[in-house]
Amino acid sequence: MDRLDYSRFYHLIPAQKHYAWGSGTKIQDLTGLPEDRKPLAEIWMGSHPNGMSFIEAEGKRIPVSDFIAGNPEKALGKPCLEKFGSLPFLFKLLAAEKPLSIQAHPDAETAKAGFEREERNHIPMDHFTRVYKDPNHKREMIYAISTFYALKGFRSKEEIKVNFKNFFPFSGSAFVDFRYSGEEDFYKKFFTRLLSMDQTLRKAMLRELETTASGMGDVEQFIFRKLLYDFPEDRCVFAPLFLNCIKLNPGECMTIDEGQLHSYVDGLCFEVMSSSDNTIRGGLTEKFIDVLELFNIMKFVHGSKVCVEPVDKGAEQLYSPGWDEFCFSSIVTKGEPYTGPQEHSLEVIFVYSGSGKVENSSSALDIKRGMAVLIPAESGKYTISGSPDLVIYKAAMPL
């Protein structure tokens, strides 16, 4: 693998992920991938074994993991290699036509212990009950391409009490009037009551909510109707009343921390995350639900709605959540060349619109809409130039 040139750029071929909540058109329209009967939910750009990307080199397709292994320092850069030993992020394009599960992701200690436990128990990686797919923690940041709806983090306990009493005039007070000691205890007891609700009570509360839902805000009502349409029998259909309802406009960005309960509901976004496939689910899904493990990893605290504000670097808007593994940039060239830094980690760029080329002192690669490119650390300073409508999105490890 050493014969590969680590100073040049490579066309990156993402892995495609077909899930029931995906879209038949959103990713396809942007990437030029053919439409088929299976909804396309995500494309993965990275080296995770559950969704390996490939580069085109020497007339064949080479797994990104093999490219990195061929010369880790030239591929990743010395700072990344010393800190992580591998590519620490996964870059995705995500299209939600239906709501994703109510879910959370583990921290590093819990992920390592969970993965080792399931390996000892010889649970196959593709088994329905397999929860930990790797030993890595998972936190993520999304950037809205379209209007994007999501649920993120618990509302304040005061909001939850008011919502349940107002929207469930017959049953709400009894549901939220219980003894608790502090915020964490309230959320644990509330969420336990919700997930253990019997079907008779769920149906009664749903009948109440169907008559009072018109009093919700526009975002809450949109999300509730989506959940109700796709998961009418699920207890988490009431999530808009106890989780923060988020509407991101195109160009807005937010983070999901380890242990934070959330669901993506509708829209198209870029997602940058720790290189992990660990998801523990609590509802709104036909996949395996593991309530005990969800409670083990969750943070029972009031969640924030705050978006990530970019650092203005001219043509580049840099979104950095302050985490070691990744940052994200939008680059709007307006026909002017963009120059990347001399020192950088392995970077992945995605061409959102326009066409042009990426080049350095020794090589050049033509780029166009829907194309992903791998930029090794060894490539050094580079320039991206092209048509006036050339827009690039980039994932990297911050140095």
Annotated active-site positions, please? 281
Max intra-chain CA distance, the chain:
72
User: Phi-psi bin for 167: left (phi > 0), alpha (psi -120 to 50), beta?
Assistant: alpha
Please say whether the dihedral angle defined by the alpha carbons of residues 262, 268, 274 and 277, taken in this order, is positive or negative: positive
- Give one DSSP letter per residue of 179-233, joined into a string: --SSHHHHHHHHHHHHHT--HHHHHHHHHHHHHHGGGS-HHHHHHHHHHHHH-TT
Give Rg (Cα) of the chain.
22
* Residue (of 105, 123, 143) closest to 321 by Cα position: 143
The 3-state DSSP class for residue 127 equals coil
Amino acid (one-letter) located at 240? P
Residues 6+ apart with CB under 8 A from 112: 135
Helix (H), strand (E) counts: the chain: 11, 23
Distance CA 53, CA 371 (A): 13
State the Cα–Cα distance between residues 22 and 96, nearest whole angstrom.
Answer: 5
Distance of CA 250 to the CA centre of its chain: 16
Contact between 34 and 262 (Cβ < 8 Å): no
- What is the per-residue burial (b if ≥16 Cβ within 10 Å, else e) of 130-150? ebbbbbbbbbbbbbbbeebbb
Residue 32 is inside which H or E element, if any? none
Half-sphere exposure of 94 (CA within 13 A, CB side): 27
Q: Measured at the alpha carbon of residue 28, what is the angle toward residues 26 and 29, in degrees to the nearest 5?
A: 70
Residues 6+ apart with CB under 8 A from 371: 11, 350, 351
Whether the CB-CB separation of 198 and 233 falls below 8 Å is answered with: no
